């Protein structure tokens, strides 16, 4: 029956069932309508066009449409015949789609017995026709349309004129078609060839079944000697008799089997189909049937079989008994599934696979991926020597192949990277794994699996180059950073020195003023006759005290900047007090309360004066904040102790200067970051402090806001 699928029937004029005109009915009756349609759909679904299966005389055995484009033109060309009679339409020569499918394609395949590729057909696509053969004799043909409908306006205009159709509708249907890649079309062609072979095999088997049923008496004689399981079945499906082969297949004795019915040993999921077909036999609709079904053996295992049922009737036409033939196809089913899975894997894996006959080194199989990798069409490499895919290097391709073959012969396998050459002459790298096994057709073969690693090698080379360059840059940057840090460190010390000199000048001002006043007072005392030895001793004593204080300040400054450039054990409290001595006078004069709680016994291993410099940097920043914000009653608390839990030395400097803004607190220790005017700061003090603590002392320094100020925490 001519059927349309995947389209709305109301859009096209129906012209009925063309299989009713089938005069031969050979394929139609032998294979069956449902089977033919299933086979046609199996390859038609790949393309969504149209397909027809013809008897040898051109009668339709089946025809299917899955393309709106094909169906539209077929319906239009049927209308060109100007007759309601389908047979007249077929013979008129005006049914353009029928002429393309049969006369111009399948008829040629029938006459020549060879594959025929029509390009293009009347409708602008292509038609691939395959003859159906049995024992070399052509018994029919199947075809299928393929290729994208034309979208060129000139061709569309020609088709519109030829088929007398609406241009917009035709253009829309042509553009709706989903373009299939070339490999799908090639797969369809191979599938069609297999389908033709399958139909031929089914036809041949069906004819054989008919002969078997006709020779029932001969089967009775051969009953006990058959290699197939044979049973005589009553109309109620009870087993009347069974041959030895059937008993062996099921694992029952003959006595056990004849007490059963077919339903007792049928796999439950297959029971309904079998009963439905058997009822057709009982009703006289058919005298027998063939069915692939599963049975249950005595041990409970499932057995796949092909079951043939044929009946003998009495004079009234009622079934007297049926003969059942069973062929155990479990191994075949398993093998077919393994082959199917193997083919699926080989056709879809990402690696290229090919087989080489060991006897002469020729290629006997390639999977689609291998053909794609080397730019060959399918089958083009078959029969070629394996060296054809080896790229020339400093070693001849033949020699490369010989070395690989020698390794396989000695070790049973070979693995490694190899330079290949494509058909185009382009070379590429692959990682190959080659092993050996015995093939039923080619004897000893080598199976080679290739994985393209060209991109991986390129990336590895680039990564190596990048790594080498990065190493060089890291070394250079480390040198630059070390020099930069050293310069920044020295710059920070000079800045701190300048700040200290300002503080020293501030601290010296009062003692110098005192000394100056005393000197002037001595002169006045002399003028007024008040100068005596006691007065002079007291004045000298006060002056010496002030001079000693000035000298002490100079010593503190000298000790702070002229340190030893080697690590030693230092007392944390002593180092902190050095910094306090340099700024103590300023804090006292400014009214800033300075409280310290220092562990006098806490020692650490570091460069002398570095702790003093860090504390001094922190105190200078605090001093600047107090001045900028005009903080009244300023307070600084310094505490140092050893944490008994971790063993670390902890130094905490806290103030009540109002804290650090949240948006900048995370950048406090960044280089050149400062909130002061350019004349007041460079942003290096706290950065250098961080370098000293982290790089020189393997410690940490952090800052956080408190209720009224901030707290700097150092852990060593």
The tens digit of pLDDT for each residue in 242-251 reads 888 889 999 9
For residues 252 and 510, the model is more confident at 252
Give, in degrees to the nearest 5, the angle at Cα 221 between 216 and 226.
Answer: 90
Give the tens place of pLDDT for each residue, 665-674.
Answer: 888 888 766 7
Q: Does 551 have pLDDT greater than 80? A: no
Is residue 262's pLDDT more than 60? yes
Determine the pLDDT at residue 482. 62
> What is the average pLDDT score of the chain?
83
Please report the pLDDT score of residue 511 as a whole number. 65
Out of 42-51, 359-368, 592-601, pick the least confident.
Answer: 42-51
Q: How would residue 534 be classed by pLDDT, with cut points 50, 70 and 90?
A: confident
Say whether 288 sits in a helix, a strand or coil: strand
Tokens of 417: 């990277």
The answer to whether residue 607 scores a pLDDT higher than 50 is: yes
Tell me the average pLDDT across 406-411: 81
And the tokens for 8?
Answer: 């709305």
Confidence check: pLDDT of 10 > 50: no
pLDDT in tens, 230-243: 888 899 888 888 88
Q: Tell me, what's the pLDDT at 483?
A: 63
Indicate whether 560 pLDDT > 60.
no
Lowest mean pLDDT across 28-37, 153-162, 418-427, 476-485: 476-485
Residues 6+ away with beta carbon under 8 Å from 442? 355, 357, 364
CB-based contacts of 110, cutoff 8 Å, min separation 6: 54, 56, 58, 131, 138, 140, 141
Q: Is the pLDDT of residue 623 over 80?
A: yes
pLDDT at 379 > cutoff 60: yes
pLDDT at 495: 57
* Strands 710-715 vs 649-655: parallel, antiparallel or unpaired: antiparallel
- Return the structure tokens found at 216: 């029932």
- CA torsion 488-492-498-499 (nearest 10°) is 150
Residue 51 has pLDDT above 80, yes or no: yes
Measured distance CA(103)–CA(109) in Å, rounded? 10
pLDDT in tens, 184-228: 999 999 999 999 999 999 999 999 888 877 776 775 676 667 788
- 642 forms beta bridges with 649
Lowest mean pLDDT among 320-334, 341-355, 613-627: 341-355
Cα separation, 275 vs 525, in Å, equals 146
Higher-confidence residue: 488 or 31?
31
What pLDDT shows up at residue 30? 92
Q: Name the more confident of 649 and 411.
A: 649
Average pLDDT value for residue range 80-88: 92
Q: Is residue 481's pLDDT more than 70?
A: no
Residue 502 has pLDDT above 90, yes or no: no
Q: Which among 68, 70, 69, 85 has a CA at the least distance from the CA of 143?
A: 70
Q: Using CA of residue 664, residue 665, residue 671, residue 676, what is the dihedral sign?
A: positive
Q: What is the 3-state secondary structure (H, E, C) of 594-659?
A: EEEEECCCCEEEECCCHHHHHHHHHHHHHHHHHHHHCCCCCEEEEEEEECCCCCCEEEEEEECCCC
Crossing angle of helices 533-561 and 454-527, in 10° steps, is: 170
pLDDT at position 500, please? Answer: 55
Looking at residue 484, its pLDDT comes to 64
In the sheet that 362-366 helps form, which strands lie side by side, from edge to edge?
Answer: 362-366, 352-357, 443-452, 427-439, 413-421
Nearest to 679 by CA among 606, 628, 632: 628
What's residue 8's pLDDT? Answer: 41
Check pLDDT > 60 for residue 16.
Answer: yes
Who's near 555: CB < 8 A, 6+ residues apart? none
Tokens of 283: 């009703």
Region 531-541: mean pLDDT is: 75
Between 676 and 463, whose confidence is greater? 463
In angstroms, the CA 382 to CA 583 distance is 94
Q: How confident is the model at residue 6 (pLDDT cuts 50, 70, 90)?
A: very low
Q: What is the pLDDT of residue 706?
A: 93
Tokens of 74: 């077929």
**What proportion of the chain, given as a percentage, has pLDDT over 90?**
35
Q: Structure tokens of 373?
A: 């990798």
Residues ≥6 apart with Cβ < 8 Å to 709: 654, 655, 656, 657, 658, 659
pLDDT of residue 168: 92
In this prediction, what percent of the chain has a pLDDT beyond 70? 87
Mean pLDDT of 39-55: 88
Two tokens at 498?
């300048």
Higher-scoring residue by pLDDT: 588, 258: 258
CA atoms within 13 A on the CB side of 89: 21
Of the chain, the end-to-end C-alpha distance in Å amounts to 94
Quote the longest CA-to-CA distance of the chain: 175
- Residues ≥6 apart with Cβ < 8 Å to 355: 363, 364, 365, 366, 439, 442, 445, 446, 447, 448
In this structure, the chain runs to a length of 716
**Higher-confidence position of 393 and 375:** 375
Q: How many CB atoms lie within 10 A of CB 268?
A: 9
Contact 252, 299 (CB under 8 A): no
Residue 28 is predicted with a pLDDT of 92
Contact (Cβ atoms closer than 8 angstroms) between residue 390 and residue 362: no
Q: Of 3-17, 80-94, 281-295, 645-659, which range is least confident?
A: 3-17
From 437, 436, 435, select the one nearest 414 (Cα to Cα): 435
- Strands of the sheet containing 319-328, edge to edge, are 239-242, 229-233, 319-328, 302-313, 288-296
Rg (CA), the chain: 51
Other beta carbons within 10 Å of 9: 9
Does residue 438 have a pLDDT over 90?
Answer: no
pLDDT reading at 155 higher than 90: yes
Long-range contact pairs involving 384-390 (C-beta distance under 8 Å, separation at least 24) = 385/360, 385/361, 386/356, 386/361, 386/362, 386/448, 387/361, 388/363, 389/420, 389/421, 390/418, 390/419, 390/420, 390/421
What is the pLDDT confidence band of residue 9, given thresholds at 50, 70 and 90? very low
pTM for the structure as a whole: 0.35
Query: Quick one: which of 65, 192, 168 has its CA closest to 125?
Result: 65
In sequence order, the 6+-apart residues with CB closer than 8 A to the CB of 500 are 557, 560, 582, 616
- Within 10 angstroms of residue 20's Cβ, the number of other Cβ atoms is 12
Q: Is the pLDDT score of 2 beyond 50?
A: no
Predicted confidence (pLDDT) at residue 1 exceeds the cutoff of 50: no
- pLDDT score at 166: 92
pLDDT (0 to 100) of residue 141: 96
Q: Which of 13-22, 26-35, 271-280, 653-662 has the lowest mean pLDDT?
A: 13-22
């Amino acid at each position: 029956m001519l059927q349309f699928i995947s389209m709305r029937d109301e859009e096209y004029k129906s012209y009925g069932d063309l299989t009713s005109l089938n005069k031969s009915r050979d394929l139609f009756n032998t294979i069956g309508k449902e089977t033919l349609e299933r086979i046609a759909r199996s390859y038609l679904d790949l393309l969504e066009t149209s397909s027809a299966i013809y008897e040898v005389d051109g009668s339709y055995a089946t025809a299917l449409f899955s393309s709106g484009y094909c169906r539209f033109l077929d319906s239009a060309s049927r209308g060109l015949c100007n007759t309601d009679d389908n047979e007249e339409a077929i013979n008129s020569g005006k049914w353009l789609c029928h002429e393309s499918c049969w006369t111009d394609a399948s008829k040629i395949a029938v006459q020549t017995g060879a594959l025929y590729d029509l390009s293009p057909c009347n409708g602008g696509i292509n038609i691939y026709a395959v003859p159906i053969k049995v024992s070399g004799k052509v018994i029919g043909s199947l075809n299928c349309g393929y290729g994208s409908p034309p979208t060129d306006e000139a061709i569309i205009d020609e088709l519109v004129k030829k088929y007398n159709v609406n241009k917009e509708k035709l253009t829309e249907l042509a553009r709706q078609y989903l373009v299939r890649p070339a490999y799908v079309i090639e797969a369809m062609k191979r599938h069609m060839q297999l389908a033709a072979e399958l139909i031929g095999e089914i036809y041949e088997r069906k004819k054989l079944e008919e002969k078997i049923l006709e020779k029932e008496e001969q089967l009775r004689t051969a009953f006990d000697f058959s290699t197939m399981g044979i049973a005589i079945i009553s109309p109620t499906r009870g087993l009347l008799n069974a041959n030895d082969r059937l008993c062996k297949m099921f694992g029952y004795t003959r006595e056990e089997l004849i007490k059963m019915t077919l339903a007792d040993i049928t796999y439950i999921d297959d029971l309904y189909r079998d009963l439905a077909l058997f009822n057709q036999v009982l009703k006289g609709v058919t005298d027998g049937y063939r069915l692939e079904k599963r049975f249950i053996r005595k041990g409970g295992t499932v057995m796949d079989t092909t079951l043939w049922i044929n009946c003998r009737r009495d004079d009234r036409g009622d079934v007297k008994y049926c003969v059942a033939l069973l062929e155990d196809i479990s191994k075949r089913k398993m093998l077919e599934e393994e082959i199917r899975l193997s083919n699926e894997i080989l056709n879809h894996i990402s690696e290229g696979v090919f087989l080489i006959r060991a006897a002469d080194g020729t290629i006997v199989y390639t999977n689609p991926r291998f053909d794609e990798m080397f730019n060959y069409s399918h089958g083009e490499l078959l029969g070629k020597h394996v060296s054809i895919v080896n790229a020339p290097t400093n070693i001849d391709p033949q020699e490369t192949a010989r070395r690989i073959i020698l390794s396989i012969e000695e070790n049973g396998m070979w693995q490694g990277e190899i330079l290949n050459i494509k058909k185009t002459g382009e070379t590429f790298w692959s990682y190959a794994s080659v092993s050996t096994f015995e093939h039923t057709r080619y004897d000893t073969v080598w199976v080679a699996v290739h994985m393209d690693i060209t991109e991986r090698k390129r990336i590895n080379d680039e990564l190596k180059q990048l790594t080498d360059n990065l190493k060089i840059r890291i070394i250079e940057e480390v040198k630059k950073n070390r020099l930069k840090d050293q310069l920044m460190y020295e710059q920070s010390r000079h800045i701190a020195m300048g700040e200290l000199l300002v503080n020293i000048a501030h601290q010296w001002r009062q003692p110098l003023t005192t000394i100056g006043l005393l000197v002037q007072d001595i002169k006045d005392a002399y003028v007024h006759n008040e100068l005596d030895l006691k007065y002079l001793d007291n004045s000298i004593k006060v002056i010496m005290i002030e001079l000693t204080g000035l000298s002490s300040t100079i010593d503190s400054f000298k000790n702070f900047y002229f340190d030893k450039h080697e690590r030693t054990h230092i007392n944390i409290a002593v180092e902190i007090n050095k910094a306090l001595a340099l700024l103590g006078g300023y804090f006292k004069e400014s009214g800033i309360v300075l409280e310290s709680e220092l562990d006098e016994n806490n020692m650490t291993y570091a460069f002398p004066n570095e702790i003093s410099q860090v504390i001094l940097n922190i105190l200078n920043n605090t001093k600047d904040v107090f001045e900028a914000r005009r903080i009244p009653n300023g307070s600084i608390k310094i505490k140092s102790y050893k944490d008994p839990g971790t063993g670390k030395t902890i130094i905490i400097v806290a103030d009540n200067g109002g804290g650090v803004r949240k948006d900048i607190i995370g950048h406090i220790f960044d280089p050149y970051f400062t909130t002061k005017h350019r004349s007041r700061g460079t942003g290096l003090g706290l950065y250098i402090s961080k370098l000293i603590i982290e790089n020189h002392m393997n410690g940490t320094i952090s800052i956080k806001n408190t209720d009224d100020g901030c707290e700097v925490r150092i852990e060593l």
